[in-house]
Each structure stands twice: as C-alpha cells, then as structure tokens.
Chain A
Amino acid sequence: MVDTKVTLCGIELDNPVIPASGTFGYGHEFAELYDINILGTFSFKGTTQNPRFGNPTPRVAEVPGGMLNSVGLQNPGVRAVIEEELPRLERVFKKPVMANISGFSPEEYESVAAELSECEQIGWIEVNISCPNVHGGGIAFGTDPAQAAEVVRWVRRAAKKPLIIKLSPNVTDICEIAKRCEAEGADALSLINTLVGMQIDLKTNKPVLANMVGGYSGPGIFPVALRMVYQVYKSVSIPLIGMGGVSSAEDVLKMMAAGATAVQVGSANLINPYACRDIIADLPRVMEKYGVGSLRELTGAAHR
C-alpha cells in the first residue's frame, strides 16, 4: 500500500491534488460530476472585496500547449461568497477549503483576508499577488519585491489561517520575491501563476483577446513551473505548492520531486472535468511504478 497523504501547513491532506483557483469555481459544478471529497482540497475562485464582472470578451483563446485567459477575476464579491457560496459548498465538501483572494490595494487584500478568516470551512488563505496595484500605476504587486512584501505584511496582520502567497512567474528573479514573502511571514508559497502571453488571429491581424494579453496556462508551461519550483525550494524553507500545466499523476510526482509539498491542477480541469479524479485514481499506480512508498517523502527528492 502506498501512502498519498501529505501535510500542508499543519493540515493533513488525503493526497496532494488541489484544483487550482479559477478552474473549479466554488466547487458545486464539479460536485455534480463526482464526489469532490476525494480531493486533497481545492482553491476556490479568486475573490475580491466587491463583485467583479472582469474583462470584456473574448477572454479565452487556444494556443499551442494550452490556453490564454483574460477573465479578470470575475467573482461575486466576498460577502456573497461567505453568505451564499460557502453554505452551499458545506453540503457537498466536508474538508477545509483554500480561499483564494485578490485585491487592488493592500487594504483590500487585508480586508478580504480578515472576513474570510472568520469562516470555519476555510483552511488556508491563498493570496493572488498578480493583480495590478491601482495606486501603484497598475504594475502587478507580484512583479515587484517591495510591493509583494507590502501585500504580505498587510494580509499577515489580518489572516488567522495559514497564509499562502501565489507567486507570479513574470519576474526576473522569482527567488528574490519568494524570500521577501517568507521574511514577511508567509506560511507557504504557490507557484506558478500564469505566464503573460498573446495570440493573434491572422484573419484580422488582431489579438484574439479583447484585453490583448492574457495568462498562459496548460502543459506548455509545465517545464517553466517545474524549474521555478526547483529554484524556489532552494531559496526558502517554507512549503511550496507546485502548479503550472500539471495534467497527470506523473506531473504530480515531478512537481513534488522538484520541491512541492502539494500540487495544484488548473487548466486540465477545463478540458477534462474528471482530470483531478483521474489523477488521484492513478497516483498509487504511478507511485508503485517509480518505487515511491510515501508521497510526503518525495518532496525535494530532486535536490538530494
């Protein structure tokens, strides 16, 4: 018997597989398809203070090895999440859920984190720092070490749950930002968020996305994500959640060997609604194939 259990910031997960934010809604669409309690947990749709519609459409596009999205954080706002989504989720999901939050100012991050910290169902707060800072000329918090550190400082004050910072790969040195987040009190890091990309329609010679650019996700970014997890593992001592193009049980094992304690699956859920169920079912077979008895012992194996 293989052991798929891992521990993420003091909370034990039956397995390391976590659907990534933005690919799993608030859970109920998938709960209609399979028992989502088989998951380690899942990270719910990025939530902001106020309801957001997001960017104009088209806001998804096909690209080699994956897709682009410029959804722009459509969500019903933190009050609706607490009053409507979480009670609905409680009926179908009995495990602690990961709350993914976003903000356009450090104050907004702090306030959303404070509200969600009061919810018993929430196990961790995962902070998306790839949003533009409206007071900082629109540059994404996560691409500037000082601004990233500032967000962590504000959220740290409010968050009464383990705090996970989700890092942007669109930076010169992800290790520097990882270290700053750790120094400000982050309990774990998720990486990577999407890479900024573009697609052009040759019939019009115009970008397909109304927003011109969007986040690239899918198997095409897996090698980049794997490399960054490997590098960051050497730079910090807090746990990492690896993500970026993960599509199979083999990918989960590779992410863990690179240094991840748990692994998120994103775009794969969109093309195969059963992707996470299938990956979890396949884990024991792949573990046996590669002689992995216990998944938690695999973390960082590539460094030993």
Chain B
Amino acid sequence: MKQGFYTVIENKQIADSTYLIRLSGDNSETGRPGTFVNIRLEGFYLRRPLSVCDSSSDTLTLIYKVVGEGTEALAATPAGAMLDLLTGLGNGYDTTVLNNNSRPLLVGGGCGSPPLYLLAKTLIRAGVPVVIILGFNRQSEVFFEEEFRALGADVTITTADGSHGRRGFVTDAMGDIKYDYIFACGPEPMLRAVYERSGNIPGQFSFEERMACGFGVCMGCSCRTKYGPRRICRDGPVLAKEEIIW
C-alpha cells in the first residue's frame, strides 16, 4: 500500500452512469490485476474504493458507476484536480497458476468488468489466450468492448434485454466455451451463477463489500470462507473458488 497524490488527466462518461477517470502520479506500487485504490473526496469522511482498470508506472485508469453521493462528487471532479489515493490495496488475481496451455475464461458483469481489463492485458502479454464474456443490462451500459478486442481477447457481450450482443446473462454464453480456469468479477448474484455454472473448474472470484479503511484494520468488510473469516479489502477482494461460501 502507498499513499499518494494523483492529478486527474481526464474524467468522462463512457456509458450510462459509468465514468472513466485517468490519473497521473507515482504509480509504482499498484500491484497486480484485481487490486484497488481508495480515494479521498472533499466533503466525505470515508474514502471510496475503486478497482484498477489499467495502470502503468505513472498512470492509473479507473472505471466507476455513479451509485451515490460519493461517486457523484467524483464524477464532478475536473481534469487538473488533485486526488489523495491509497493504492496497491487488496490481493488481486494470481496469474501464476496459469501457463501457456491454460484456457482461462474471464467473466465480468457491469461495473465489475474493469479489473478484468488489466487481467486480460497481463495474460495476453504472457502468451495466454483470453476469452471473455461481459454482461450488461442493456446496450447503453456497454463499455470497453472494443478496448478488450484491441488487446486481442475473444469478446462476447451479453445484454439482459438483447439490445446488444447476445440476449441473456453471462452464464447463457458460458456453455459454448471450452475453458479450464475461470476469473470473475461482478455483482454477487452473477458471481454465484458463474460459480455454479462453472462446476468443478477452478478459478478466482473478486468480491465487493462496503469498507472503511481498505487496508485490513477496521474489519468492516469481513466475509466468511471455508478457511475462516477473510477481509475483502486485504485478504481479498479476490477469493479462490474453493474457499467461497455463498
């Protein structure tokens, strides 16, 4: 974990209630894909945790949905503003379990898709082919379809109302794909459906929970697992499939 100040380079709407913010700063410790940052916002006491969509040594890209007053304030933050961030939070996805013969499937739901971008990029760079299913409610919520394709991923989009891509849920598209490992991030009902649909295939699932500190001391975000209580912010947000209790 590291505390640092970042400058907003751009902050723009990319889909319904969905924004992309690009920040510049010393970003040497954001860690592996699936980690998150905790952002301090003027006028709010608690920081707001957001997953990392993409990062380099000096830039950070986050995609977030406006869901309340905090994210509304973030959406109103102009380019040039400075933000106080805690970075490199959480465990992230462990990609060392894969090799060049692995056939991972990535499944993202709505604003749970962003961390899969850096994951896909990391896997593709390591020579692992990436197949990804991204689920949304409707066309106006879809984002990053082309960006994922540009990485070289095989992308399927599903929308619940059929207004874009394949009609239905992400699990409806899973039957057509051969895979031996699964990475998922999204709302809990989606995660559970993906968990069940993927049967005995191992994987890693990224969870979300309301949290205060983001670095493992307040115990606000704990969840139960087969191996005992885990802090989503520090022992997670990524849990191994075999430890999950629904």
List residues of chain A with CB under 8 Å of any chain B CB.
Answer: 22-25, 29-30, 32-33, 45, 53-54, 57-67, 69, 71, 74, 208, 218-219, 267, 269-274
Q: How far is the CA of A169 from the CA of B30 in the complex (A)?
A: 41
Q: Is the CB of A74 within 8 A of B222?
A: yes
Give A217 Cβ to nearest chain B Cβ, in Å. 10
* A32 proximity list for chain B (CB < 8 A): 1
Q: Is the CB of A65 within 8 A of B45?
A: yes
- Asked if A61 meets B210 with Cβ closer than 8 Å, knowing A30-B217, A273-B1, the reply is yes
B: residues with CB less than 8 A from A are 1, 3, 40, 44-47, 70, 86, 209-213, 215-224, 229, 234
The complex places the Cα of A74 from the Cα of B213 at a distance, in Å, of: 15
State the CA gap A53–B174 with chains docked (Å): 35
Bound-state Cα–Cα, A60 to B45, Å: 12
A-B contact count (CB 8 A): 85
Asked if residues B70 and A69 are in contact (CB atoms below 8 Å), the reply is no
Q: Helix, strand, loop or mixed for chain B's interface?
A: loop
Question: Once the chains are docked, how many angstroms separate the CA of A274 from the CA of B3?
Answer: 9
Q: A67 with B3: in contact, given A22-B218, A24-B217, A273-B215 (CB under 8 Å)?
A: no
Chain A residues with Cβ below 8 Å from B224 are 53
Decide: A23 near B217, CB < 8 A? Known: A57-B209, A74-B222. Answer: yes
Residues of A within 8 A of B218 (CB): 22-23, 60, 69, 71, 270
A29 to B86, CA, bound (A): 14
14 further A-B contacts with Cβ under 8 Å, apart from A23-B218, A59-B220, A60-B211, are: A33-B1, A53-B229, A54-B219, A57-B220, A57-B223, A63-B45, A64-B45, A65-B45, A71-B219, A267-B212, A271-B45, A271-B47, A272-B3, A273-B3
Do residues B217 and A269 form an inter-chain contact, with CB atoms below 8 A?
yes
Question: In the assembly, what is the distance between CA of A192 and CA of B40, in Å?
Answer: 26
User: B234 — nearest CB in chain A belongs to which residue?
Assistant: A29
CA distance A274 to B86 in the complex (A): 11
Given the known interface contacts A269-B217, A271-B47, the answer about A58 and B222 at a Cβ–Cβ threshold of 8 Å is no
* Neighbouring B residues of A60 by C-beta, 8 Å: 46, 210-212, 218, 220-221
- B229 to chain A: which residues have CB within 8 Å? 53, 74
Residues of B within 8 A of A23 (CB): 213, 217-218
Chain A residue numbers with a CB within 8 Å of B45 are 62-67, 218-219, 267, 271
Asked whether, in the complex, the Cβ of A62 is within 8 Å of the Cβ of B221, the reply is no
Closest 6 CB pairs of A and B: A60-B220, A270-B213, A58-B210, A60-B212, A25-B217, A74-B219
Contact B46 A62 (CB under 8 A): yes
B209: nearest residue on chain A (CB-CB)?
A: A57
**B222 contacts A62, CB within 8 Å?**
no
B44–A53 CB distance below 8 A = no
User: CB-nearest residue of chain A relative to B212?
Assistant: A60
Q: A33 vs B216: C-alpha distance in the bound complex, in angstroms?
A: 13
Is B46 within 8 A of A67, CB to CB? yes
